[in-house]
Structure 1
Amino acid sequence: MKKSIFKLCFLALLGLTISCSEDSIENESTEQVQNFNQELLSTKQINDEIKSTLQQTGQFYWKDASLQMLWSASQHGQNIITVGYGSSQSDFEKGTSSKATDIEKQLLAIISNNESNPSGKTLIYSDPILNIIDVVVKDQKTLYELRRNINVRYIEPGDYRFFKFEEENGTMRSSSSGSSGCGFDSETLSSSDYTSISPNAKVPWSFYQHNIPSAWNKSTGSGITIGVIDSGVSPNQSLMGSNFNNGDSSGRSVQKYGTYVDSFWPWSTSTDGPNDQCGHGTSMTATATAPRNNKGLPVGVAYNANLISYRAAANVVLEGYHEQKGVQNAFVGLGNNSSVKIISMSMGHIFSVGRIEDGVRYANNRGKLIFCAGGTSTSFTNFVGVIFPAWMNETVAVTGIKEGSGYNKCSNCHSGDKIDFTVVMERSGSGNTAPVLSYYENQSDYVGGSSVATATTAGIAALVWSKNPSWNKDQVLNKLKQSSSLYPNKNSEYGYGNINANLAVQ
């Protein structure tokens, strides 16, 4: 009797469960239909949500955004959607993916079947190396179907311009050289900010804070190639061009490429070349590799290293479709170059960009040691911690600190638990930063922030690798850690601290 009663209760419970499940499915379907018709969020609403997430978690990923927010952001960005696909999260290379072609066709079919008014040019771009497509999507239902597909790794708005909309909404001031990181100024260096050495070069004061001049007795970076992803190199500075081998720098090469397309039109493919039109890239390449010259100008850290420069973006803020695509392509290009050991990038964004993540991982998988800037604040990014892609596990994050005892970050530098190393680059008295070659011939300048800290660290890594050419990137990185002031502990704001370059090349 008890068994019968139990059986009846169980069946009743099962029936109730099935009924509830059916109701749940019906309600879920109703909710989905409603989601497909949600109103367009304003750029202010979207930006406020991004900032709120950054303040709470320190990072923002589009995968965590609602369908409404993702769709709205794409609508404000020319309806461009970037889809990263693969059979797993680690399946992002066409060369290692046997199903890439079939998956891409499947995704394009989903778009075609779900768009109520499909564009004549749905496919903007199919990457030849990575599992990435850029497509035009207008309907919320299409995004929903793509998101639920097991072969989609991420879906992101391909041309959402956060800072442009901050300006339009009156949240930040108009764009300027200070906010973009660009500038073409030249300055006469204070005699207290350098030391003259043979054959007639100036050693920046900051180099002595890391014992770089002493390290030169053992290594000058010979045989190592540093790839710099930035805004290019000035055609007006011969020491980073035709006079790259000058003074005590010899037997090395400089190569310059461009992956940045200067166009609002997403279908444009012509790059505007390798020449710096910002000034930032010239400063970074010079910090890492400028020759030990006979012209009375600042020397770089690894003055006998080779240089490969990529003009991948217009300025330091990686905003917009062509800048993000340009950086992705630069990482892939350097990843495919067997001579490159080190990659330095002093640019970034406040939120994650999937295609750049794929590019970073591609280069990392090919043994490149990647240094990225932790971030330099402006009035509208001071709420951000360590920026992307410096927060990635595949990158080494660097920030700048002030001269003096202890650790005090520079006036505009970011810090946080993702930082690995620091570089002293701001004077405690004058506030002057690090001397560097200017954009113009026979002139010098000052440059600061986490940008110069990153390029400096990349140069130190080249000294270590040149001294130990058989090492891999992990061995070089471990040596940098072991030669740092806070090792073996890692500080929650400043990582392993300042590297002693002379100890690192022992």
Structure 2
Amino acid sequence: MGYWPAGLQSSTALPEDARQSPEWQQARAQVLALILAAEQKTHPDMTLEKLAVFEANALPVLTVTVRELNTIKALRASALVRYAEPMGYEPNRQPANRPAATLSSSGCGSNTATAGLVAGSDYTVLSNGSKSSWNQQDVYHGIRAAWGQSTGRGSKVLIIDTGSSDTQENLGTAFNQGLSTGRTVEHLVTLPRNTIFGIPYGDAETPNDGCGHGTSMAGACAAPRGIDGASVGIAYNASLITVRAAEDVFLDASREVQGVTDAYLLAGNRADVRIISMSMGRLTSSSQMTDAIRYAYGKGKLILCAAGTSFDWSAGVVGVIYPASLPEAVAITGVKDNLTTRCDECHVGSDVEFTVVMQRSSNDQRPLTLAMSGDAPSTVGGSSVATASMAGMAAVVWSRYPTETRAQIMSRLVAASSNRTARSNSFGWGRVNLATAVGSLVN
């Protein structure tokens, strides 16, 4: 629930110091008093301590558990309340060790080494022995040609996802190896513990990826160009922060909404972070997450979000999901190597801004990335890998032009795109030629 002093208009931007401002603090106290009074009518022993679910962050937001419909009605009628809405949608939610079929449908459980990958077809072996995915060929995005000018050095990407596997050394102790040097990697967690009626239970969450999705996104974006034979990321000299903000890619749980909210706030407050990539989402909007995304956007961050990934039959119908649908977000989707068709599971729509080639028409092959452990590559698809790949490309461009603003970098990406003269209603500006964007060659 968002609050504000009475009398403000819906178009009013949230001030950075809203939580510290006396009039905003007064509004917060009044709203809490309203909730407590309404709840105590049927629960006389209710206290403020029992109402709060998650710790307060920098936003003028309250997360509380209410049991009475009249409380919600009172909140929505109050001039002190910006919005009052359900935080999560999680009836009969299953535990983390749920069956493999359920894990797969949530984007988890499949990040293991892919058998049968063929050199020269599925990947190219580079001079130092690392594997460059088939979709890094210059014919699609000019990625390998761009590496002659920029590899992401000096840029830092923050990936909001399911974390990073503790056992994948290419995102840990071997992050700097071969031609990847002098960069940093951090693994953080913002996902809160589980709660029942506001009472936390279970162990504290860690940055470790129990799903596999976050590890594959980090690999596609910034895996090292090393000497161990693993797959190489697009921005192989960019620094990286992975944030475990959710259990899986569908942000349906209240604690996942809180985790993502806090991750965007963290990214916004990090002056060294320029690019935020998130390959997760939901069908319904979240005003709290929107507040956090607008906060990060106001700090000059380039925010990339996946347009959506689902089953073949629904992907072409649903459209761009939240939060990629927000104007502050750059929505990314995936296309096949024929350059004209969306990937089987990828969402499209007027909110899409860029596309990334990530599915072969002939054999459905997806791009290479890092598995949960070891050097043998896995593969990953959907608008998820398209988004992480685009984050890598943005890091390469910003590395080439480090003094430029977000708007200037976006202009360079658009100018180097396949639809730069006529934006598509389904695919936006289309494919970016990274080599053109960094000045390596002309389209």
Q: Which residue of 2 aligns with 1:392?
A: 326
| Structure 2 residue 247 is the aligned partner of structure 1 residue 325 | no
Per chain length, whose mean CA-contact separation is higher, i.e. which structure has more relative contact order (CA < 8 Å, sep 6+)?
2
Q: Distance in 2 between matches of 1:379 and 1:273?
A: 34
Q: Distance in 1 between matches of 2:226 and 2:55?
A: 45
Q: Distance in 2 between matches of 1:128 and 1:495?
A: 35
* Match 1:190 to one of 110, 118, 121: 118
Q: Distance in 1 between matches of 2:83 and 2:308?
A: 25
Q: Distance in 2 between matches of 1:379 and 1:495?
A: 21
- 8 Å CA contact 1:227–1:342 kept in 2: the answer is yes
Q: Distance in 2 between matches of 1:334 and 1:433?
A: 29
Q: Which residue of 1 aligns with 2:37?
A: 113
Q: Which residue of 2 aligns with 1:403?
A: 337
State how 1:250-265 maps to structure 2 within 5 Å. 250-265=181-196
> Any stretches of 5+ residues in structure 1 without a counterpart?
1-82, 166-172
Q: Which residue of 2 aligns with 1:86?
A: 4
User: How many Å apart are 1:136 and its aligned residue?
Assistant: 2.2
Q: Which residue of 1 aligns with 2:281?
A: 348
Q: Distance in 2 between matches of 1:163 and 1:193?
A: 41
TM-score under structure 2 normalisation?
0.90
State how 1:2-401 maps to structure 2 within 5 Å. 83-87=1-5, 88=8, 89=10, 90-92=12-14, 95-96=17-18, 98=21, 99-115=23-39, 116-118=41-43, 119-120=46-47, 121-125=50-54, 127-161=56-90, 176-182=102-108, 183-188=110-115, 189-191=117-119, 192-208=121-137, 209-265=140-196, 266-268=198-200, 271-378=204-311, 382=315, 383-401=317-335
- 8 Å CA contact 1:127–1:133 kept in 2: the answer is yes
User: How many Å apart are 1:444 and its aligned residue?
Assistant: 1.0
**Matched pairs, number:** 416
- 8 Å CA contact 1:386–1:415 kept in 2: the answer is yes
Q: Which residue of 2 aligns with 1:48?
A: none
Q: Which residue of 2 aligns with 1:7?
A: none
Q: Label 1:262 to 1:379 Cα distance change in 2 as closer, same or farther (>3 A).
A: farther
**What secondary structure does 2:435 align onto?**
helix
- 8 Å CA contact 2:231–2:375 kept in 1: the answer is no
- 8 Å CA contact 2:414–2:429 kept in 1: the answer is yes
**What secondary structure does 1:156 align onto?**
coil
User: How many Å apart are 1:261 and its aligned residue?
Assistant: 2.6
User: How many Å apart are 1:196 and its aligned residue?
Assistant: 1.1
User: How many Å apart are 1:93 and its aligned residue?
Assistant: 5.2
User: How many Å apart are 1:262 and its aligned residue?
Assistant: 4.3
Q: Distance in 1 between matches of 2:233 and 2:100?
A: 33
CA deviation digits over 1:423-467, x for unaligned, max 9?
010001011100111111122111100000000101100011000
Q: Which residue of 2 aligns with 1:490?
A: 423
TM-score under structure 1 normalisation?
0.79
What is the aligned-residue identity percentage?
38
**What secondary structure does 1:423 align onto?**
strand
Q: Distance in 1 between matches of 2:206 and 2:352?
A: 33
CA deviation digits over 1:269-308, x for unaligned, max 9?
8641111111100000111100011111210000000001
Q: Distance in 1 between matches of 2:312 and 2:85?
A: 27
Deviates more, 1:485-494 or 1:379-388: 379-388
User: How many Å apart are 1:325 and its aligned residue?
Assistant: 0.4
More helix by share: 1
User: How many Å apart are 1:366 and its aligned residue?
Assistant: 0.6
> Any stretches of 5+ residues in structure 2 without a counterpart?
none
CA deviation digits over 1:241-267, x for unaligned, max 9?
000001100000001101113424343
| Structure 2 residue 376 is the aligned partner of structure 1 residue 430 | no
Please give the root-mean-square deviation of Cα atoms over the aligned residues, in Å.
2.0
Counterpart amino acid of 1:86? W
CA deviation digits over 1:92-151, x for unaligned, max 9?
456146222111111111112223224341233452300110122222222122112222
Q: Which residue of 1 aligns with 2:404?
A: 471
Q: Distance in 2 between matches of 1:357 and 1:445?
A: 33
User: How many Å apart are 1:336 and its aligned residue?
Assistant: 0.6
Q: Which residue of 2 aligns with 1:59?
A: none
Q: Distance in 2 between matches of 1:326 and 1:223?
A: 27
